[in-house]
Amino acid sequence: MASTATIRRADKTVQGMAIGPMSVQSDRQRCGIGSQLVNDLLQRLKQASCQFVIVFGHAEYYPRFGFTAASAHGIQHAFEGLPQELLFIHVLDENCQPTIEGGTAFYDEAFGPQLTSQ
């Protein structure tokens, strides 16, 4: 449910995690399953000293867990053709905030080609 991710700037690379957008079977939605999964994962990642978590998702869903638009931090993703407004970030370690501002978020290479000239 989570994989490694980085946010890169010219002067620094910060390691974090990425979660995939999730889905709950339609007849099980609105029962709290998705919320419980996200909350549990975020708690585990924070306990593991993860600095940030990124996700591609819905603006109406992920903010309830503390995610904000990555663009509000000057962060963009490196996938060609995917709208930037779909990327959200949850900063778990406030000390990393200045080191990720204005960076580019990269998912693990298993997720496909990403531009390297960002």
Give percent of the chain with pLDDT exceeding 90.
73
Residue 106: give its domain's CATH number: 3.40.630.30
In a domain, residue 118? The reply is: no
Six token digits for residue 68: 């904000």
Q: Which is nearest to 18 in space by CA: 47, 49, 48, 45?
A: 45
pLDDT at 118 over 70: no
pLDDT at 37 over 60: yes
Residues 25, 28: Cα–Cα separation, whole Å: 5
Residues 11, 69: Cα–Cα separation, whole Å: 23
Residues 50, 59: Cα–Cα separation, whole Å: 23
In a domain, residue 35? The reply is: yes
Q: Would you say 21 and 54 are in contact if contact means Cβ atoms under 8 Å apart?
A: no
Q: How many CB atoms are located within 10 Å of the residue 51 CB?
A: 20
Q: Give the per-residue pLDDT at 68.
A: 97
The pLDDT-based confidence of 117 (bands split at 50, 70, 90) is low
**Interval 61-84: pLDDT, tens:** 999 999 999 999 999 999 999 999
Average pLDDT, the chain: 92
Q: pTM score, two decimals? A: 0.90
- The position carrying tokens 């995939």 is 20
| Terminal-residue alpha carbon distance, the chain | 26
> What is the count of structural domains for the chain?
1
In a domain, residue 43? The reply is: yes
**Interval 5-22: pLDDT, tens:** 999 999 999 999 999 877
